Amino acid sequence: MMNQWIAAVDLGGTTSKIAFISKEGSIVHKWEIPTDNSDEGANITANIAASIDEKLKQLGVSKEVLLGIGMGAPGPVDYETGVILNAVNLGWKDNFPLKDSLEAATSLPAAVENDANCAALGEMWMGAGKGAKDLVCVTLGTGVGGGVIVNGRIVQGVNGAAGEIGHSTAVPFGGAPCNCGKTGCLETVASATGIVRLAIEEIKKDELQGELAKLFSVQQKITAKDVFDYAKTGDPIGQKVLNEVSFHLGLILANLANTLNPEIIVLGGGVSKAGSILLDSVNSYFAKFAFPAVKNSTKLALATLGNDAGVLGAGWLIKSKLPLND
């Protein structure tokens, strides 16, 4: 019998990743196309459909090979209706019927989900959480996203706002303003942007010295990667910021685990590339703040799929609808 694939899309504001994925979760082909935000996003799904058709033609494969198309999109998505509620960066008006548009453009059964939720599903299917049914994924990037999985399914919440772990309040009083309108969100202290802000504040206090402060005085800018790289070498400001970020993440994630006791909490996104120096430090606060029975059973781990988590999770949206033995 012919192999069958799932088409999967990780839709971004400037670039979209597209992949063909086997039913076993292998990425068979993947490529990228620019996202065309013009004309209120009118061309986005048509461009994806055309790119898929072209790829199939290049490969000399019939479209019948495709079982369906899954998509992760940046914004709140109503999973049941497939409507994306708000997607300013993509040009679409509020409440754009993304699933319907994708089905019309591709003639394939479609499923859509928020991109942070897709990353969680991807890590559950093929990544750090492989085999787990209760999993939380926190994506530490420019912002902080989250996906919560209970019994193999994304928790949506009554208003689709479950998983907003990045907007948990980490600094109850006097915290930095967040894009969401609140202050002191986890995103303000654990995103790449937030980490850089903490480091620059610390440098400007002029209490601690070191190489990171020197780098900043030369370049007038630093990155989150610089902060962790210098922390590894013992730089006092790097270490202080690492400790602060880890405290906030450890506390928020321990309290989340005290509530859900998931099998695994996966840390993904660019910031998680800091690796064991971050994981170990978060783990030490997590152990301090987690209920003993939770500490002994909920594991923290780094994401393993990198940028592929999104397309794999988008693929899972279709995979999970297939008959069990298919």
Smallest gap from Cβ 309 to a copy of itself, in A, equals 19
| Residue placing its CB nearer to a copy of itself in the complex, 35 or 168 | 168
Question: For residues 213 and 264, which CB has a smaller minimum distance to a copy of itself in the complex?
Answer: 264
Nearer to a copy of itself, 31 or 291 (CB): 291
Return residues touching a copy of itself (CB under 8 A). Answer: 76, 132, 134, 136, 146, 148, 150-151, 153, 155-165, 167-169, 172, 180-182, 185, 247, 251-252, 254-256, 258-263, 288-289, 291-294, 296-298
Rounded CA separation 39/50 (Å): 18
**Taking the complex as a whole, how short is the minimal distance between the CB of residue 292 and a copy of itself, in angstroms?**
6
Q: How far is the CB of 34 from a copy of itself (least distance, A)?
A: 30
Give 119 or 215: the residue with its C-beta nearer to a copy of itself: 119
Q: Select 1 or 158, whichever has its Cβ closest to a copy of itself.
A: 158
Q: How far is the CB of 232 from a copy of itself (least distance, A)?
A: 25
Nearest distance from C-beta of residue 242 to a copy of itself, angstroms: 17
b/e code 286-318 from CB counts within 10 Å (16+ = b): beebbeeebbeebbbbbbbbeebbbbbbbbbbb
Q: How many residues does the chain have?
A: 326
User: Would you say 199 and 237 are in contact if contact means Cβ atoms under 8 Å apart?
Assistant: yes
CA dist., res. 74 & res. 37, Å (int):
13
Residue recorded with tokens 């914004």: 75
With tokens 């193999």, the residue in question is 152
Q: How far is the CB of 279 from a copy of itself (least distance, A)?
A: 19
Closest CA to 133 of 307, 25, 22, 262: 262
- E-strand ranges in 26-184 read 27-34, 66-73, 77-78, 83-84, 110-114, 135-140, 144-150, 153-154
Of 6 and 260, the one with the shorter C-beta distance to a copy of itself is 260
Query: What is the spatial order of strands in the sheet that 299-302 belongs to?
Result: 153-154, 144-150, 135-140, 264-268, 299-302
